[in-house]
Every structure is written in C-alpha cells, then in structure tokens.
Amino acid sequence: MWGGRGPELRRRGALLLISSALVLGALGVACGRAESVDCGPEDQRGSFLPSLPAGTARLAIDPAFDPISRESILQVVETWNQLGSTIVGRSFFAAQASGGIPRSMPVGPQDCDGVAGSSEQFSVQLDSSDASQPGSRWVSLGLNSSNPAVTIRCYEGSNLQKQVVLINARYVLPAQFRSVVLHELGHAVGLDHSCQMGEGSGDWVGCQGLGNEHPYVSAVMFPYLRMGNGSGLGAVEIKENLQFNDQIRVGCRYQNR
Ligand SMILES: [Zn+2]
C-alpha cells in the first residue's frame, strides 16, 4: 500500500541472493496508505503498516490445526505479548478457540468481503490450497509454492479494518512453522518487512546488498527464510525469537499510542 492510491497488491518476487527460500508475505488491501513513522532507523521509517487498535485483539486459532501447531501458535502469541508488555505496556493478542469468528474465504488479493472478523478479532487459518492448480486460493492470491503463509490486511484510510493470517500446510516446513507464524503475527501487529525487495527507497532500504550479519537480515521481519538447498549445504533457518530490530520497530509503531 505504499506509494500508490487505491487498492493495491504488493507481490513478493523470487529471491536472488538465497537459492532456496520461503518468501513470507503480507498482502495489503488498502484504500489508503500507512504513514511513515518518525522513529527508529531512518532507512526503516517507511516500513510500517497500520497498527492494531487499542486493547487486546482476539486471535482465533483454526481448529483444523493439529495440536502441535496449535501449541506453536500459542507460544508465538505469548512471544509477541511479552514484547508488547515489556516495550509498550500491552498484550497484543488473546488467543481463543475459533468460536465467534467465521472462516475467512478470500477469493483474491482485493477481496476484503471474503475476510471475516474485525480490527479487534481475527483468525490464524490453515490453508492447503495447491499453488499448481489454477483457480486455487494460493494462485488467486498471487502466491506460489515459495510462500508458506500470508497476512491479508484490509484498511479504511490508514486504519486497520480486518485481517487474517493464512498458513499453507503444503508449503511450510514443520521445523519452520513457528518461525513463519512469528513473522506473520509481526504483520498483524503492524510491521512490514525490515527491508524491501529490490533497490528500496530512502525511508525503506532494499534487502539486496545487506550482508548476512546485518540486523535487518537477522530480524524476524526479514522477508525470507532459508530452506536449505537439499544437498546438505545451507541449514534450514529457524527464527523463533524476536530480535532487537523487531523490538525497536514495535516500540516505534506504538509510540504515543
Ligand atoms: Zn512477510
């Protein structure tokens, strides 16, 4: 939703620097654009999304998740709540069984009518659509097999209207499930990626050219997660802890709120 007016989809292309990686998505369905935040590193000031409203958002966990996945989601919720409590004095999410929030059934990236819930209650949903099948949800959303998950957010002006996190069981490695959910709930909180595809811009640096030790690369909100290359070279990347850069961006997102 940056740099344009009206509904807009931001797509994530293939990663050039890492041969095999998951691309962690955020689709923004916007009738407006988020504001830059005058806080934190200058080259990340444009990296924010509309925040959650005041209070604690109810987060419904799809009953289709298996018990291990459900426990992982609960742990991620606790991770975000601990950070929120420490930095900005609030718990972001209250996890609950799915009751009360209908299933979201978006048929395209602009389909906010297909997203259930409100800014104060949303769901983490299991998807198993096949990206090789034309017409499947993943294809309809503009995603592919390198996208294990997506957070779809709908806005009115610069206010969050509703959102849903979709996790595709076909494309998330079990070892990376918790890492992926941690990243997606970062979008749900109101963070876009720590760096953006391509060259970037003055207030939101591009990911290319950042070294492996760069704090934006080690951040949970970096848009890629290495899967390894299948030949024993390159480890499956795990990111289950929020990093300093993620923390300061949360502080910036919720400053003076
Ligand atoms: Zn993402």
Q: Centre a 10 Å sphere on the Cβ of residue 132 and count the other Cβ atoms it contains.
A: 11
Number of domains in the chain: 1
Q: Residue 23 in contact with residue 146, Cβ under 8 Å?
A: yes
Residue 248 lies in a domain: yes
Cα(85) to ligand 1 centroid in Å equals: 23
Residue 3 lies in a domain: no
Cα(224) to ligand 1 centroid in Å equals: 8
Residue 138 lies in a domain: yes
Residue 13 lies in a domain: no
Cα(194) to ligand 1 centroid in Å equals: 9
How confident is the model over 126-156, as pLDDT tens digits? Answer: 999 999 999 999 999 988 888 899 998 888 8
pTM comes to 0.88
Residue 147, domain extent: 21-253
How confident is the model over 67-80, as pLDDT tens digits? Answer: 999 999 999 999 99
How confident is the model over 48-66, as pLDDT tens digits? Answer: 999 999 999 999 999 999 9
Cα(191) to ligand 1 centroid in Å equals: 9
**Domain with 95 in it: what CATH number?**
3.40.390.10
Count of alpha carbons within 13 angstroms of residue 93, beta-carbon side: 27
* CA-based nearest residue to 182, from 113, 81, 100: 81
Each residue's pLDDT expressed in tens, for the chain with a length of 257 residues: 233 233 333 333 222 223 334 566 555 544 334 567 889 999 999 999 999 999 999 999 999 999 999 999 999 999 999 999 999 999 999 998 766 688 899 888 888 889 999 999 999 999 999 999 999 999 999 888 888 999 988 888 888 999 999 999 999 989 999 999 999 999 999 999 999 877 888 899 999 889 889 999 999 999 888 876 655 556 788 999 999 999 999 999 998 55
Rg (CA), the chain: 17
Cα(213) to ligand 1 centroid in Å equals: 19
**Tokens (6 digits) for 45:** 């000031």
Between CA 137 and CA 158, with CA 192 as vertex, the angle to 5 degrees is 90
